[in-house]
C-alpha cells in the first residue's frame, strides 16, 4: 500500500513504521497539511490512504480535510484521522463533520491500525449507523496481542532468554530470582 502520513511529530512518524513495515508498504511523510496537499496534487504520485493528525503547524487536520473535500479526484481516498483529542473538543467535532473514513484514538496498536487501513483500502468505510453523521471511534487503547500475532514475539523472547542464560553461564554468574525481578551475582565456588 502507498500511504501518506500527515504527522508533525518525528516520534509518531517512526511509530507508523511499526504498523506499516517499509518492506510491504510505501510510506510518504508530510509534517503538515500544506505539504500533504502538495504531495496529493503531484500527478506523479498516487496514494491508497492518508493517515492524518489533527494538531499540526501551517495547516492542521481540519484545514487539510476542507481542502481535500474541494477536490473531486480525492473524494474516494480513505482518510484515517489519528488523534489524542478529547471526544468533545471543537477541533475533533469539526474534523468529524468533514467525514474522515475512520477516527483512531492515540495511542493505537500497530496491528489494529494496519488492519483498519487495509480493510478501508479493500472495502471502503463501514456503513454509518442510522442517525450518525461521522464514523465511530475505532480504537481508544492499544489492544493486547493474542493468538498467532503473539506466537512470533514469544519465540523471539524465548530465544533471547536462552542467549542471555548462556552468556550469564559463561561469565560464571548466577541469577537470583526475587519477588519483583532478579539480580546477578558471582557464582560461589564450594571447595
Q: What is the pLDDT of residues 35-61, one digit of tens each?
A: 999 999 999 999 999 999 999 999 999
Q: Which of 121, 118, 90, 117 is nearest to 103 (CA)?
A: 117
Contact 63, 37 (CB under 8 A): no
pTM to 2 decimals? 0.66
Which CATH topology does 2-123 take?
Rossmann fold (3.40.50)
Contact 62, 16 (CB under 8 A): no
Average pLDDT over residues 170-181: 61
Instruction: Lowest mean pLDDT of 26-35, 58-67, 158-167, 168-177, name the range.
Output: 168-177
CA dihedral 129, 134, 138, 139 (to 10 degrees): -130
Q: In the chain, which residues fall in CATH 3.40.50.2300?
A: 2-123
39-53, 80-94, 124-138, 169-183: range with highest mean pLDDT: 39-53
Contact 116, 85 (CB under 8 A): no
Question: pLDDT at position 182, please?
Answer: 57
Cell of 106: 492515540
- Answer yes or no: is pLDDT of 156 > 80: no
- Answer yes or no: is pLDDT of 139 > 50: no
Amino acid at each position: 500500500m502507498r500511504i501518506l502520513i500527515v504527522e508533525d511529530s518525528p516520534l509518531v512518524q517512526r511509530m507508523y513504521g511499526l504498523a506499516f513495515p517499509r518492506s510491504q508498504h510505501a510510506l510518504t511523510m508530510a509534517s503538515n497539511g500544506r505539504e500533504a496537499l502538495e504531495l496529493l496534487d503531484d500527478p506523479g504520485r498516487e496514494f491508497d490512504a492518508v493517515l492524518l493528525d489533527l494538531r499540526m503547524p501551517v495547516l492542521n487536520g481540519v484545514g487539510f480535510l476542507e481542502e481535500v473535500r474541494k477536490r473531486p479526484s480525492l473524494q474516494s481516498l480513505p482518510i484515517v484521522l489519528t488523534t489524542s483529542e478529547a471526544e468533545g473538543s471543537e477541533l475533533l467535532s469539526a474534523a468529524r463533520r468533514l467525514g474522515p473514513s475512520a477516527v483512531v484514538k492515540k495511542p493505537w496498536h500497530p496491528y489494529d491500525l494496519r488492519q483498519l487501513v487495509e480493510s478501508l483500502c479493500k472495502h471502503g468505510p463501514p456503513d454509518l449507523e442510522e442517525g450518525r453523521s461521522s464514523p465511530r471511534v475505532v480504537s481508544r487503547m492499544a489492544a493486547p496481542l493474542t493468538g498467532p500475532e503473539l506466537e512470533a514475539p514469544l519465540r523471539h523472547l524465548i530465544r533471547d532468554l536462552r542467549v542471555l542464560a548462556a552468556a550469564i553461564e559463561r561469565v560464571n554468574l548466577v541469577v537470583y530470582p526475587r519477588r519483583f525481578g532478579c539480580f546477578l551475582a558471582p557464582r560461589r565456588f564450594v571447595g
